[in-house]
Amino acid sequence: MLKDPITPPLSAARAHEIATAFDLRALPADFLANPYPVYAALRETEPVRRMPDGSYFLTRYADLVAVYRDAATFSSDKHVEFAPKYGAGSPLFEHHTTSLVFNDPPLHTRVRKLIMGALTRRAIADMEPGLVTLVDSLLDRMAEQGGGDLIEDFASAIPVDIIGNLLGVPHTERGPLRAWSLAILGALEPVVSPEQQALGNRSVTEMLDYLRTLVATRRQQPGDPERDVLTRLIQGEASGEQLSEVELLQNCIFLLNAGHETTTNLIGNGLLVLQEHPQAHAQLLQALQQTSGNAAAQETVLTRAVDEFLRFESSNQLGNRRALTATTVGGVDLPAGALVTLCIGAANRDPAQFPNPETLDLTREPNKHLAFGFGIHQCAGLSLARLEGRIAIGRFLQRFPHYRLTQTPERGGRARFRGFLHAPFSAA
C-alpha cells in the first residue's frame, strides 16, 4: 500500500479559499497536487475571473470554445506577452514567438499545412508496426526487471522515439531531447525562476546548434517528404511555400517538444489514474479480454479510454490568448489587449458539457474534450498522440494487468503541463 494518495483530497472549504484569492503567480502546493476542486469553485463563483495582474481566467467549456472559434479576435501571438517575461531577443523569446502554437495566420497556416502533409492518416497507420515493436521492447526490458519506472522507463521513451523518427534524429543523438524539452516547456509556467529561465535559454541554444547540423545533413540527403517531416519542412510545398531558416529551426524544436511532453503525460497519467480507480481498471481489463482477437473492437475500447484519460487528467491544462479588440466572453466585457488564460483542465470537467464530470468513465461517448484544443489551433498531431496512447496503454495492460506502484509517484509540480516525473512500479 502507498503511504500517500496519488491525488490528495482537497476539501471544499480549502478549494473556495484558494479560488477566492486565485492567482497563477502564487499557486499553493495543494492546488498543484489537485487543482480540480478549485476549478469547480471558480466555475461556480467566478467563471471569468479577473486576475490580480489584470488578465482573465476562463473555466467554463462554452467560454473556451467561443474563444477558440474566434481566432480573428483572440490572437495566439505572444510577442506582447513574452517580451517582458523573457526579454526581447532572448533564445526563449525567439523560440516561443516563432513556433506554430504561438502564432497566427499566415505563418501558422503555412507551418501547419506542411506538418499535416506528413501526418496523413496513411502515414500514421504506417507508424503502428514500428510503435508496437518499440513498446514491446520497453515492456520486455521491464518484465526482465520485474518492474521499473512508468515515466522514465516507458511513458517518456515512446514519444521521444516517435518524434525522433519523424524528424530523422539518429538514435544515438536522442539522449538530450527530454531534458531540453522539459526545460523549454517549463519556462511557459506562470512563474519562472531566474535559474529556470537560464536553463530554458541554454536549452534553446543547444537545441538550435544541434538542429542546424541535422538540417544541413538532411539538405544533402533528403528523406521521403511523405514520411519525413523535416524533409517536408525543408522542401516546402510544390506551390513554393517555404519556411525561413529561423522558422524551420524553431518549429523543429516545437515539434520535438509538443510531441514529447504531452504524450508522455497522456500515457503516464492514464496508467496512474487506473491505479486510483481500481473499478475502472478492472472494467478495462475485462473489456480488453472480451475483445481479444477482434482488433477493431479493441481499438474502440482503447480509443475511448484514451480520450477519457485526456479529459479527466488533461496533459496540457492551460492555454492563452490576447484580445485584439474589446469583446465580451461569458457575459464579461474584456478590453482590447486583455490577456486570457483558457483553463482546459477546468473546461474538461464542466458539468454543463460532461455528465458526472468527476467520474472516470472509460466508455464515455460522446467525449468532446478540449485536451487537443479546438479550431485552427487544434493539435496537428492528435491522431498520432491517440495512436501512441492506445498502443502504449493497451499493450502495457496486457503485459502487466496487475501492476502496482511501489512508491508514491513524484509529480512535475507544474500548473500548465500536468504529469509525473517518476512512478516506480512492480509488474505483479
Average pLDDT, the chain: 94
The reported pTM is 0.95
Q: State whether residue 106 is helix, strand or coil.
A: coil
Residue 197 sits in a domain whose CATH number is: 1.10.630.10
Asked if the structure places residue 346 within a domain, the reply is no
Angle at 224 between CA 223 and CA 228, to 5 degrees: 75
- Closest C-alpha among 43, 1, 56 to residue 352: 43
> How many domains, the chain?
1
Segment 16-40 mean pLDDT: 97
Q: Compare 257 and 397 and report the one with higher pLDDT.
A: 397
Asked if the structure places residue 416 within a domain, the reply is yes
Q: Compare 66 and 428 and report the one with higher pLDDT.
A: 66
Asked if the structure places residue 277 within a domain, the reply is yes
Asked if the structure places residue 10 within a domain, the reply is no
pLDDT digits (tens, 9 = 90+) for 45-99: 999 999 999 999 999 999 999 999 999 999 999 999 999 999 999 999 999 999 9
pLDDT at 334: 98
Asked if the structure places residue 14 within a domain, the reply is no
Compute the chain's Rg from CA coordinates: 21
| Distance in Å from the first CA to the final CA of the chain | 13
pLDDT digits (tens, 9 = 90+) for 291-322: 999 999 999 999 999 999 999 999 999 999 99
Asked if the structure places residue 195 within a domain, the reply is yes
Residue 339 parent element (H or E) = strand 339-343
Give the domain extent around 290.
80-311+360-426
Residues 135, 391: contact at Cβ < 8 Å?
A: yes
pLDDT digits (tens, 9 = 90+) for 201-217: 999 999 999 999 999 99
Angle at 145 between CA 142 and CA 146, to 5 degrees: 85
Asked if the structure places residue 342 within a domain, the reply is no
Asked if the structure places residue 28 within a domain, the reply is no
